[in-house]
Every structure is written in structure tokens, then in C-alpha cells.
């Protein structure tokens, strides 16, 4: 029942977009988010049916999900005024630096490498492990242990901002055919992310930078990208899972795909606890309290509470970050579950509206910035994967990516971009 409604809404949205003249783009948020909604929210419940106690409960649960999805589309297509592209001036030193592309690349790369090194040092020291021991942990274990040790979000914030600056500059290097320097930055970013990533998605995004650049700046390769999304990406996810867990061929692609799309069980558990009246709603605290605290370093507030919705509600519902096999496991609850924990049914609908509205604003922001297409590629992939997590994660990422683009425009944007002489490479 749930799958049928989700399929109708997703397919109807894609047909509506085409009827309004939208040119299909395999790397557009309009497509990528719909694809993940179809796979995670719809198909996942067919592969692994949810344990509904009654037909009435199944109907109510389906109506809740469908109403949230409708709200998402309303927010996604609400008419907003596109943000104007403003390029404020910079100091004399920054004006001098922006004319020296190679030196700027080295400075940004050096700052990025230093941040990665400090992040690794912080994790090694906080977790009480050697570097070799930490690198043998699974991605999920690293994420959970970092969260429970309370290492704070400051390294993540700095890494996000420097990643955006590097992606912006990488685009200019490629446009000016400084291929050797661009390749060096690409290798640095990929190796660095391999060292610190707590999920496989950032690794895949970094590896796909050349493909994304070709798609945006040279020629659309929608058909090849669709093949990659449906064939190459599942294989890559499977291999990365096996590589990080120390058992390269422990998973088949089909097993891994099933494990990836079955994300609704934790959300359904939250739903049942809510309908039974067993949970205390947060009444918006996730927005006005926990989310802003994400930007407060642990060094300032040592006893800062858990700001991650997933970690906090894994502890609330399951009393531990350990599963029945004593393995670390952080559950995801989707934006529907996140909203449900705030204001009940209405909270879920409002939460999905906010998801669509945030994505709507970001699309309009990037569509006015042809020099930020690589950043837009990263943002699109993350926005799609956050369908399984929370609006909190989307807001956090949107703020940091927009801030990173704005900083680059303010400090380093070359005159060629200000005059519109670089090739346009962005399309929603």
C-alpha cells in the first residue's frame, strides 16, 4: 500500500517536471531525491515489509508518509525570489592572491591537509586507538564512537568549508587547463576523505569529481550516469563496505543493496512508540536548540548534549548504541521520523515541507552561480542521501555549503567569473 502511493507521487512529480519544460539532468536534486525516496521510502518496504499490527495502523502510517511527501513537493516548488549574485570587494592581499592561481591552490590544499591531519589526531587521541587501529574500524563504528566520545563538530565544519573552497578553485583550474595542479588537488581530497570518512558517500563523491565536471562543463552524459547510478554505484558501495570492514567479498551486491534500502524499520518503531503514547515529543527543540548547538565546540562546552538526531533517538528508543550482537549501530529515522518526534503528525508534514523549501532555496542559489557546479554536485548527492536521515543534516550542510561559496566569491573569485566569461555549467 505504501509503495503504490509513493510510486504514484514520485512518477507523477517527474512527469509534471517534464510537462513544465524541465530538461532531464541525472545529477539534479529533482531526480536524485526522487530516486532515493522511491528506493528508500517505497521499494524498501516491499523488500522488507514493515510489521504493521493492524490494517488501520498500516493505512494511517501510509497516509502520514504520503502527506509528508506532498508537503515536500509543495516546499520544493514554492515560488521564491532567486538570490542575487553579489560579489563584494576584498582586501589588497586577497586581490593579489586571487591572481596567483597556483599559490592559492597550494594554500587551500595545505589548509585542507592540515585540517584532515588534526581531525585524525583528535580521533586517535579521543578514541584511545592507534591510527592503524582506527583505520580498520568500520565506517559506522567510527561515526558512533566519535559521536559518543563527544569530539564535537568543529573539525567537520572546517572540513566542509575547505572542501567547498577547493571544489570552487578546482573548477577554475580545470577551466584554465591547469590539469597537473588540478589532479594533485583531486588526489589530495580523495585520499584525505578515505582517511576520515565515516560513510562511503563522501568517498564516492570525490572519486566522481571528473565525471561530474565532464557532465556539467563539457557535455551531458545522462545515459552513462544512469548506468553508473544503477550498476557502478551499487558495486562501489559494496566494495567500499567490504574494504572498510576488512572483508572485501563478504557482501554480494544484491545483499548490500537490500541492506542499504531497508531504512524504514527504525522510523516505523518510532511511529509505533508515538501511537502508543510512549515518547515525549521535543516540540521543536531539534530546530532551535540542538541544531544551533552543532556549531558550539566541545572545548567551550564539555557537557554539550548529543546534537545529532539519529544518535540521540537511537539512545532514546534502544537505550544503547549497541545492537543485539554487541556491534555499534546508529539508527536512522528519516525526515518523517524526525518531524514526528517534534510535533507528531503535523511535525512530520512541516518537516518535509522544510526539507523541500531548503532544497528549493539551494537550487535557486546554485542556479545563479555557474562557477559552483562541482559544489552543487556534492550538495545534490548529500541532499539525496539525507532522505534517510534528517532535515537537521540538510540544513547544516546547506548553511556550510552556501557559506563556503560566499566566502570564495568574496575572497578569491577571479575577474573572469565576475564578467561571466567562464562556461556555464549549471542546470537544475
> CA dihedral in degrees (225, 229, 232, 235; nearest 10)?
170
Mean pLDDT of 83-92: 56
- For 194-203, what is each residue's pLDDT tens digit? 887 767 788 8
pLDDT at site 133? 63
The answer on pLDDT for 106 being more than 60 is yes
- The span from the CA of 353 to the CA of 73, in Å, is 7
The per-residue b/e assignment along 38-77, b for 16 or more CB within 10 angstroms, e otherwise, is: bbbbbbbbeeeebebeeeebbeebbebbbbbbbbbbebbb
Q: Residue 328 pairs with which residues in a beta bridge?
A: 322
Cβ atoms of residues 84 and 141 within 8 Å: no
pLDDT at site 338? 95
Where does the pLDDT of residue 345 fall: very low under 50, low under 70, confident under 90, or very high at 90 and above? very high
The answer on pLDDT for 415 being more than 70 is no
- For 389-409, what is each residue's pLDDT tens digit? 999 999 999 999 999 998 888
Q: What is the mean pLDDT of the chain?
A: 83
- For 72-84, what is each residue's pLDDT tens digit? 999 999 987 765 5
Where does the pLDDT of residue 1 fall: very low under 50, low under 70, confident under 90, or very high at 90 and above? confident
End-to-end alpha carbon distance in the chain: 31
The Cβ-side half-sphere exposure at 1, using a 13 Å CA radius, reads 14
Mean pLDDT of 322-336: 72
Of the listed ranges 95-109, 125-139, 271-285, the least confidently predicted one is: 125-139
Task: Say which residue, 316 or 68, is predicted with more confidence.
Answer: 68
Mean pLDDT of 328-355: 91
CA distances from 114 to 111, 139, 159, 199 (A): 5, 22, 10, 21
Q: What are the extents of the domains in the chain?
A: 1-428
- For 275-305, what is each residue's pLDDT tens digit? 999 989 999 999 888 888 877 777 677 777 8
Task: Say which residue, 44 or 425, is predicted with more confidence.
Answer: 44
pLDDT at site 419? 44
- The span from the CA of 416 to the CA of 206, in Å, is 26
pLDDT at site 358? 96
Query: What cell numbers appear for 166 in the block?
Result: 577547493
- For 154-178, what is each residue's pLDDT tens digit? 778 889 999 999 999 999 899 888 9
**303 contacts: CB under 8 Å, gap ≥ 6:** none
- The span from the CA of 74 to the CA of 70, in Å, is 6
- For 196-255, what is each residue's pLDDT tens digit? 776 778 888 999 999 999 999 888 899 999 988 888 777 776 776 666 555 555 566 666
Query: What cell numbers appear for 73 in the block?
Result: 513537493
CA distances from 340 to 278, 296, 299, 310, 334 (A): 13, 26, 32, 13, 10
Amino acid at each position: 500500500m505504501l509503495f503504490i502511493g509513493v510510486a504514484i507521487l514520485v512518477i507523477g512529480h517527474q512527469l509534471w517536471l517534464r510537462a513544465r519544460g524541465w530538461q532531464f539532468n541525472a545529477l539534479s536534486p529533482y531526480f536524485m531525491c526522487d530516486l532515493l525516496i522511491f528506493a528508500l521510502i517505497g521499494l524498501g518496504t516491499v523488500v522488507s515489509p514493515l510489521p504493521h499490527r493492524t490494517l488501520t495502523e498500516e493505512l494511517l502510517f501510509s497516509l502520514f508518509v504520503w502527506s509528508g511527501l506532498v508537503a515536500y513537493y509543495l516546499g520544493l516548488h514554492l515560488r521564491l525570489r532567486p538570490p542575487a549574485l553579489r560579489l563584494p570587494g576584498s582586501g589588497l592581499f586577497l586581490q593579489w592572491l586571487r591572481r596567483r592561481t597556483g599559490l592559492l591552490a597550494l594554500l587551500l590544499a595545505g589548509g585542507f591537509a592540515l585540517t584532515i591531519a588534526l581531525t585524525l589526531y583528535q580521533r586517535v587521541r579521543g578514541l584511545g586507538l592507534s591510527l592503524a587501529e582506527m583505520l580498520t574500524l568500520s565506517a559506522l563504528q567510527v561515526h558512533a564512537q566519535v559521536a559518543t566520545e563527544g569530539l564535537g563538530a568543529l573539525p567537520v565544519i572546517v572540513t566542509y568549508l575547505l572542501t567547498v573552497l577547493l571544489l570552487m578553485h578546482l573548477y577554475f583550474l580545470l577551466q584554465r587547463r591547469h590539469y597537473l595542479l588540478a589532479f594533485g588537488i583531486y588526489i589530495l581530497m580523495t585520499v584525505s576523505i578515505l582517511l576520515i570518512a565515516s560513510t562511503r558517500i563522501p568517498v564516492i563523491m570525490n572519486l566522481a569529481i571528473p565525471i561530474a565536471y565532464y557532465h556539467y562543463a563539457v557535455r551531458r552524459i545522462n545515459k552513462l550516469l544512469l548506468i553508473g547510478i544503477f550498476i557502478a554505484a551499487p558495486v562501489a558501495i559494496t566494495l567500499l563496505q567490504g574494504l572498510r570492514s576488512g572483508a572485501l567479498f563478504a557482501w554480494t551486491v544484491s545483499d548490500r543493496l537490500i541492506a542499504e534500502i531497508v531504512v524504514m524499520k527504525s522510523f516505523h518503531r518510532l511511529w509505533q512508540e508515538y501511537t502508543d503514547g510512549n515518547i515525549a515529543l521535543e516540540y521543536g527543540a531539534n530546530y532551535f536548540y540542538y541544531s544551533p548547538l552543532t556549531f558550539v565546540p566541545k572545548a567551550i562546552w564539555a557537557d554539550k548534549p548529543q546534537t545529532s538526531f539519529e544518535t540521540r533517538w537511537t539512545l532514546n528508543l534502544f537505550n544503547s548504541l549497541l545492537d543485539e550482537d554487541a556491534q555499534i549501530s546508529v539508527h536512522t529515522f528519516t525526515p518523517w521520523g524526525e518531524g514526528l518526534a517534534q510535533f507528531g503528525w503535523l511535525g512530520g508534514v512541516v518537516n518535509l515541507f522544510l526539507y523541500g523549501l531548503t532544497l528549493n532555496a539551494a537550487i535557486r542559489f546554485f542556479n545563479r552561480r555557474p562557477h559552483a557546479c562541482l559544489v552543487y554536485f556534492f550538495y545534490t548527492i548529500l541532499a539525496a542521501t539525507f532522505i534517510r536521515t534528517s532535515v537537521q543534516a540538510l540544513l547544516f550542510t546547506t548553511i556550510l555549503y552556501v557559506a563556503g561559496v560566499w566566502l570564495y566569491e568574496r575572497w578569491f573569485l577571479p575577474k573572469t567569473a565576475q564578467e561571466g566569461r567562464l562556461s556555464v555549467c549549471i542546470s537544475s
